[in-house]
A and B are shown apart, each in its own frame.
Chain A
Amino acid sequence: MKYEVVIGLEVHVQLKTLSKIFCSCSTEFGRPPNANTCPICLGMPGVLPVMNKKVVEYAIKACLATHCEVQTTSRFARKNFFYPDMPKGYQITQFELPIGLNGYINIETDGTPKKIGLTRIHLEEDAGKSIHGENLGRPGRSYVDYNRTGVPLVEIVSEPDLRSPAEAREYLAQLKAILDYAEVSDVNMEEGSLRCDANVSLRPVGQAEFGTRTELKNINSFKFVQKALEYEIERQAKVLNQGDKVVQETRLYDSDKGVTFPMRSKEEAHDYRYFPEPDLVPTVCDAAWIDSIRQSLPEMPEAKRDRFVSAYEIPEYDAGVLITSKALADYFETSVKLLNKPKTVSNWIMGDLLKELKNDDKEIDECPVTPERLTDLLKLIDDGTISGKMAKTVFEDMYQSGKPPAEIVKAKGLTQITDESALAKMVEDVIAANPGQAEDFKNGKDKLMGFFVGQVMQASKGQANPALVNKLIKEKLSS
């Protein structure tokens, strides 16, 4: 049986405010456990939440950046359930009246563009972090750190429009870029400021109704989103092919084993008993407020890509790579301002620079080579001081040592030999050492050019200017 895959993603994004959503505690990551807490986020009796204005602004920004309709009136609700990481016994979230509805983002996989619908964007508070006792040397108990409790989140819910794990991954990448550009979140999956749950089901090709879905949780990287979905799709197909039914359940992804497994089901089905949060008043976003935020919205990734292609005349592929993060796009533009050779700059960024960063698992803003240093290096190629091949070695050194390119070139004695008389001597020596080949070349065996250039380069330890060597060999052998 041939199945069609149906995927919808729920993405939780931490907004980058300084303080929490309903109290003035810091949201700083990496503080000692329970340092960022107060009676409000700890859910002490009698405390009152007060909405952080910046959270609403960021949420409106996130809505505008994803083409969602910002709702004039939105309201908070209590979602009731008991779990130790949520001290109040309920989570304050938006239910019936979320802040944003009916958006979309554009994705492209294998050159095919597609619009992915967004059902809604709503605001909520994050929960704390539970630690199993084993990890603290106390099996049989659990421990809770409430630093994250009350950190502002937007949950972005997609329509079930995704049809493959690759599309899901691309959707997530685009969403991440958009939120990064809008400057509403750090979108860091490792630090948990971007988290993804996936709903996935299969249906026979041509069938209109959806099949039974499972929800995958605990997916904390782009790669894992794709891998977890691929595994789950295969698992469901196997179940269906055996004539069995897929059980609707929540499953966790184990990235070490590369499998999904059912989360132990709770004793009873969830019954959240949502009701309007009486401690918070409705949020009203009028047109003037929304417009002023729209004005402040920076250039979004799609617009930037189009501009890069037209303004810098670089291929669409290059532009697509360069815009994946705002910091990378800025790095490119700063470099081009310093050296107006967009395609050369793009090649170096996409090649050597991203390769080194990837090896080091670093982001562009942690790159030891600044745009100034990179373009200084490229200028050394331009003025003939070093060859392109030498530049690659210098780049590696620059990346490791953080030293300016000219200093490395000097220290390594890498300067290209452009002294014509010195090179002429080397060329003559090579010809003298290979009289047979020289004769063949003179008799029309042009292919031997490469051989001679290679010999001279070897003799000069790679420092000869190749263009000059070519010229000299031709001169000597045609006379």
Chain B
Amino acid sequence: MTADVLVPTSADEAASLYGDGAGITVVGGGTILLPEIAVGRAKPERALMLHRAGLGTIEVAGDRVVIGAMAPISAVADVPDGALGQVARHLADGEIRRTATVGGNIAAAAAADAQRGDLGAPLIALGARVRSTGAGGERIEPIEEFLAGDRGRLVLDVQYDRFERRSGTAALRRRHAHSFSVAAVVACARPDGSDLRIGVSGVGPTAVRCRAVEQSRDAADVLSDVEPIDDAVASAAYRRAVLPKLVRDALDQLEPA
């Protein structure tokens, strides 16, 4: 069992205990870590538990939304700006959404057998930024860059700017089986079509921003943005077949009704 458990009571204390993260296992909601411990794949020696660190608030202030890393997924279901709440409401099931956290969804390492992190797609489409701490101190970066890194940092919050947007979401998943998505696409743009951003999750180890499609607006180009993989949920070939259709569907929803 765990040799050492740290329970910081403020964000600053959490950051200082985390340090550069060496040897630390971060415990958010625990929905990813506890099953790993149960089967012996994870044996934390020094666990940083964040439930008292005060990182669980969601602020909607004027033109900005700031979501604390420890906000439960169930709370994100109610945030403004449709796409994020819509995806959050479809993650796992209600019992898991009350326990799982936004920070864990963003920061947890890739799973061996399924692709996690469905909040990545809407957050990429909303142009969200991740504030994290770790080696080199605190920094804020676009979520697609955070996801592309090694994620060996402590997520503090995720934030995005609010402005009038249209959004489109399209996903393939087994609704009542609460398994991970086969593929999920979120697109957001201003009403005039500018500032188009597209995020795809479920097809590989992290959510990915689809810059090629953003440029060309051709759904088929998604296969130059992402490289779908095989896992227990779906084959790469199947994902390659359905993904352009999902992107097309999401883009179509951006058109005025």
Whether chains A and B associate is no
Q: Which residues of A contact B (CB under 8 A)?
A: none
